[in-house]
Amino acid sequence: MNSTQTGPVIGVVCCQKSLEGYAIQSVNEFYLNAVKQFGANPVLFPAGSSEAEIKQLVAFVDGVLLTGSHSNVAPSRYGAGHDESKKDEGRDSLSFALIDICMQQEVPILGICRGFQEMNVALGGTLYPKVHEVAGFQDHRESPLNDMAMKYAPAHPVNISDNGTFAEWLAPLDNIEVNSLHGQGVRQLAPGLTVEAVSPDGLIEAFSLKAHPFFIGVQWHPEWQATENHFSRILFDQFMISASQRRSLKDGIRTHW
């Protein structure tokens, strides 16, 4: 990047939680650290923001990061009728509005875990509420241990789809090892999305939208020790390149990477 220019600004979604009676906006610092490590400046987007507030926030940033969360997308969002105890409808409202705006305005957007699932649902796809209860799929949930190195350790490979964006980035590799910390997963892929990676049991683990400058979702957690993982470095580098290009267009200048 040109040394006279500061890095792009990335909007990072927050979740709504309750802590000892207080209403809290929260985000895991792993995501913020990854954004900063790859030369960008994170700003937090509070869950529960109005549509007008969200549009104003998006105008300020160069890219959007949809994080993972222990909450799940509300079943009503994808036509399901089961009970869901771990909802965060303020987060849903924020993320789904952001996805719509990023689609319309071609803002670079990266979705991780819950964010990946939100992107699929926003475009018309559906989810498995509990992947581990579906015949043929392995248990993709995180380790109950508090050791983060164990939680985020590689859990299984994913096979990279031919002729996709990931195949271009990773050639000649055709698979990579990823971690696994999710209970829900993609059931029906949304129209228009291209599968980028699939786990050995057949679960979709990554996708892209070819008609968009950067619309990518991954089911695993590349933010964990991102600078030490080959694919994570590529993913975040490409995200920041796309965000910087958008910034250059907004500022009317040319940014060099």
3-state SS, residue 234:
helix
Q: Which tens digits make up the pLDDT trace of 53-93?
A: 999 999 999 999 999 999 999 999 999 989 888 999 999 99
Rg (CA), the chain: 17
- Domain 9-139+182-251 CATH superfamily: Class I glutamine amidotransferase (GATase) domain (3.40.50.880)
Nearest to 214 by CA among 108, 119, 64: 108
Residues acting as catalytic residues: 113, 221, 223
Determine how β-strand 15-19 pairs with β-strand 109-112: unpaired
Is pLDDT at 3 greater than 60 in this prediction?
Answer: no
Q: Which tens digits make up the pLDDT trace of 193-250?
A: 999 999 999 999 999 999 999 999 999 999 999 999 999 999 999 999 999 999 998 8
Rounded Cα gap, residues 182 and 147, in angstroms: 17
Give every CB contact of residue 71 below 8 A, 6+ residues apart in sequence.
15, 86, 87, 88, 91, 114
Q: Which tens digits make up the pLDDT trace of 93-147?
A: 999 999 999 999 999 999 999 999 999 999 999 999 999 999 999 999 998 888 9
The confidence score (pLDDT) of residue 170 equals: 98
Q: How confident is the model at residue 255 (pLDDT cuts 50, 70, 90)?
A: very low
User: CB count, 10 Å around CB of 60?
Assistant: 10
**Domain ranges in the chain?**
9-139+182-251
The confidence score (pLDDT) of residue 5 equals: 58
